[in-house]
């Protein structure tokens, strides 16, 4: 098995990644030397307490932010060698991101939001594809609604349809089921893993949902800017802190 995994190319390879920011109280080191290797087609969950650096890491991996130190290889391309324009082109080609705060365009309808990346990528039947994606996330009856006319969970599903439309090579998702009830959360998770399998999309998910994390091939834990493979006791701890949500799901 190890021989096999060595043969599969890395979708993401991170070496000694550090991120510091200036704050009023001085320099804050958010990430303290992250190393990780995610194979093409692999699914990885990142667990860990709030404020530990998970969203910061995801932003760096998706070339949305610049590290203080270290290197990220995305599908074989070193991000530190790229200028902003090249990074934008790489994102458009290979990466989708589901943000914790949705990041929908307020003035565009659900349908237009989902069409946008496909149009930018020059897809011909963007409208039909966008309608199909919205059907798939159960929003076929909300095509002409603006984001403010949708519930939080519905906005989350629009964001997910938008992330899927260009069949990204790597999909980053920051708490993709955080705003959904368990039935919709399961539906979204099913979609994520279907895409992962059908299109060999690499998935990197930040989640507090242990049930979702366990559906991933690997689980990592972020703790105060340090990333490690998750142990049983860390997973149990996570369950303690999110016990209510987990218990509610079990009902």
Residue 30 contact partner, candidates ligand ADP, Mg ion, none, CB within 5 to 8 A by sort of partner? ligand ADP
CA distance 63 to 82: 10
Q: Which is nearer to ligand ADP, 3 or 50 (CB)?
A: 50
Which of these ranges, 54-62, 158-166, 214-222, 232-240, lies near Mg ion under the rule CB under 5 A? 54-62
- Contact pick of 12, 39, 44, 52 for ligand ADP (by CB under 6 A): 52
**Contact between 43 and Mg ion per CB under 5 A:** no
Q: Which is nearer to Mg ion, 40 or 242 (CB)?
A: 242
Which of these ranges, 10-18, 50-58, 132-140, 194-202, lies near ligand ADP under the rule CB under 6 A? 50-58
Which of these ranges, 5-13, 23-31, 129-137, 235-243, lies near ligand ADP under the rule CB under 6 A? 23-31
Sign for the pseudo-dihedral over CA of 230, 236, 237, 241: positive
Q: How many angstroms separate the Cα of 112 from the Cα of each of 106, 141, 153, 176, 248?
A: 11, 14, 18, 21, 35
Which of these ranges, 47-55, 161-169, 179-187, 243-251, lies near ligand ADP under the rule CB under 6 A? 47-55
Q: Which is nearer to ligand ADP, 43 or 55 (CB)?
A: 55
| Number of residues near ligand ADP (by CB under 6 A) | 11
Q: Which is nearer to ligand ADP, 23 or 81 (CB)?
A: 23
Q: Helix, strand, or coil here: 251?
A: coil
CA distance 209 to 230: 14
Q: φ, ψ for residue 147 (rounded to 5)?
A: -50, -40
DSSP codes, 35-55 = EEEEETT-EEEEE--TTSSHH
**Contact between 124 and ligand ADP per CB under 6 A:** no
**Contact between 54 and ligand ADP per CB under 6 A:** yes
User: What's the CA angle centered on 14, arms 223 and 167, to 5 degrees?
Assistant: 100
């Amino acid at each position: 098995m190890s021989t096999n995994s060595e043969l599969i190319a890395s979708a993401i390879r991170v070496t000694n990644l550090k991120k510091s920011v200036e704050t009023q109280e001085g320099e804050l080191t958010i990430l303290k030397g992250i190393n990780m290797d995610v194979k093409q087609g692999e699914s990885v969950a990142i667990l860990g307490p709030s404020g530990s650096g998970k969203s910061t890491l995801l932003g760096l991996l998706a070339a949305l932010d610049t590290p203080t130190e270290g290197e990220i290889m995305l599908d074989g391309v070193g991000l530190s060698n790229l200028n902003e324009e090249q990074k934008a082109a790489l994102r458009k080609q290979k990466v989708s991101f589901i943000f914790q705060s949705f990041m929908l365009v307020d003035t565009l309808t659900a349908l237009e939001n989902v069409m946008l990346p496909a149009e930018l990528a020059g897809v011909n039947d963007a409208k039909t594809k966008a309608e199909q994606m919205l059907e798939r996330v159960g929003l076929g009856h909300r095509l002409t609604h603006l984001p403010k006319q949708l519930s939080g969970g519905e906005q989350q599903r629009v964001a997910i349809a938008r992330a899927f439309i260009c069949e990204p090579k790597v999909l980053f998702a920051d708490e993709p089921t955080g705003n959904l009830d368990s039935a919709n959360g399961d539906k979204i998770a099913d979609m994520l893993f279907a895409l992962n399998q059908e299109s060999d999309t690499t998935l990197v998910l930040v989640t507090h949902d242990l049930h979702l994390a366990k559906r991933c091939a690997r689980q990592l834990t972020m703790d105060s800017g340090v990333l490690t493979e998750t142990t049983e006791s860390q997973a149990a701890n996570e369950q303690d802190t999110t016990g209510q949500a987990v218990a509610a799901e079990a009902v």
